Amino acid sequence: MQQNARIAVIKGDGIGVDVADATLAVVSAVLDRVGLPGLNIDEIAAGAGYFRDTGRDIEPGGEERAAESDAIFMGAIGLPSVRHADGTEISPHLRLRDRFELYAGVRPVRAYPNAPQRLADPRAAGIDLVILRESTEGLFYSAAVHGRSQIIGDSEVRDTLRITRSICERLHRFGFRLAEKRKARGGKGLLTCVDKANVFASMAFFRKIFDEVRPEFPDIATGYNYVDAQALDLVRQPWAFDVLVTENMFGDILSDLAGGLVGGMGMASCAEIGDHHALFQPAHGSAPDIMGQDKANPLAAILSGALMLDYLADRTEFAAYADAAKLIDEAVMAGFSANRLRPMEFGGDMGTRAVTREVIDLIGESACA
């Protein structure tokens, strides 16, 4: 009998609540359509609102419960008006990344028919790449645990950029395996190392480890790009790339740029995967100004839910989730192709609830076809 996956859900702040609810509704519907039991949900209070009210960024025992789950799903975290004394945001998710070593930040970038495309070149309709952002160290190393930054009076602040062999070897192997998986589905079979190895010893080390791992994957082509040149190429020829592997801060910036090419952050799904844990969330912010107004585009969160099901499907007891993940992806593509998904984010007439209902309807049609 199919086992229920245990999912820790942190809805967070602002529209995080709206899009998390939308995702749970879609996941519940798709599991029902393929004849699987629903998820076992454990909701954990966390975020800037919780910090404002309690002085803590996550409820007592929340991290331990997240550790016991099969996966973590998060809506969005942060409120502009709620900060630490040093001006930084309330960021329990950064600590979760650090604690669970969620080193592989997977950011898919895919063009959809009838969704905004910022590039005039017709080849932009074929954009389909993944930015693999290392998510536990790099320049975010200091931010992951509050207090790692060195603050020298009111005259200087030093943040540490950290690159380790242990994380890099696992990250690069993850990138090569992801390129292999995409190649098996018709992808380019190309992994590009994005760094600044011409200037920083840390980035030269990042590339050195990439080169050491490369011979283990002879069927995958490789490329190299400095991060500034890669930013240019994401505007000039994004269709030429498949999987990009990069340092934390570089990946953060490039994935937002790439998301803008295919409609906006409302389409930016995200998986953060480690060896034993994984967290899934839309890459956008909490947008508290539109919370509860039925205006948020829930598709980034819904697609993140599909990534979660696909991740769980690698475990024998959840293998059947692969079909459910595929149904969500196909429903979103079919919805845009038929102009049945028209989010307000793109100037359309469909709010959060309408988009969610339409995706559920499309899943039902696909499952019954």
Distance CA 294, CA 76 (A): 16
pTM for this prediction: 0.93
Summarised one tens digit per residue, pLDDT across range 159-217 is: 889 999 999 999 999 999 999 999 999 999 999 999 999 999 999 999 999 999 999 99
23-32 b/e (C-beta count within 10 Å ≥ 16 → b): bbbbbebbbb
Q: Is residue 271 a part of any domain in this protein?
A: no
Q: Is residue 104 a part of any domain in this protein?
A: no
Distance CA 12, CA 364 (A): 29
Find residue 222's DSSP bridge partners: 191
In a shared domain, residues 134 and 254: yes
Q: Is residue 97 a part of any domain in this protein?
A: no
Summarised one tens digit per residue, pLDDT across range 36-85 is: 999 999 999 999 999 999 999 999 999 999 999 999 999 999 999 999 88
Name the residue range of residue 225's domain.
117-261
Q: What is the pLDDT of residue 151?
A: 83
| Average pLDDT estimate for 332-342 | 97
In a shared domain, residues 206 and 325: no
Q: What is the pLDDT of residue 17?
A: 96
Q: What is the pLDDT of residue 217?
A: 98
| Average pLDDT estimate for 289-306 | 96
Other CB atoms within a 10 A radius of the CB of residue 4 amount to 16
| Average pLDDT estimate for 244-263 | 95
In a shared domain, residues 253 and 357: no
In a shared domain, residues 122 and 45: no
The answer on pLDDT for 304 being more than 60 is yes
Domain boundary (261, 291, 318) is at: 261
In a shared domain, residues 73 and 122: no
In a shared domain, residues 247 and 284: no
High-pLDDT (> 70) share of the chain, %: 98
In a shared domain, residues 334 and 227: no
Q: Is residue 29 a part of any domain in this protein?
A: yes
Q: Is residue 162 a part of any domain in this protein?
A: yes
| Average pLDDT estimate for 278-285 | 96
Kindly list the distances between the CA atom of residue 275 and the CA atoms of 67, 238, 353, 365, in Å, as whole numbers in the listed order: 12, 30, 35, 36
| Average pLDDT estimate for 240-267 | 95
Please count the structural domains in the chain: 2
The answer on pLDDT for 147 being more than 80 is no
Summarised one tens digit per residue, pLDDT across range 114-128 is: 999 889 999 999 999
Q: Is residue 111 a part of any domain in this protein?
A: no
Q: Which CATH number covers residue 185?
A: 3.40.718.10
Q: Is residue 35 a part of any domain in this protein?
A: yes
Q: What is the mean pLDDT of the chain?
A: 94
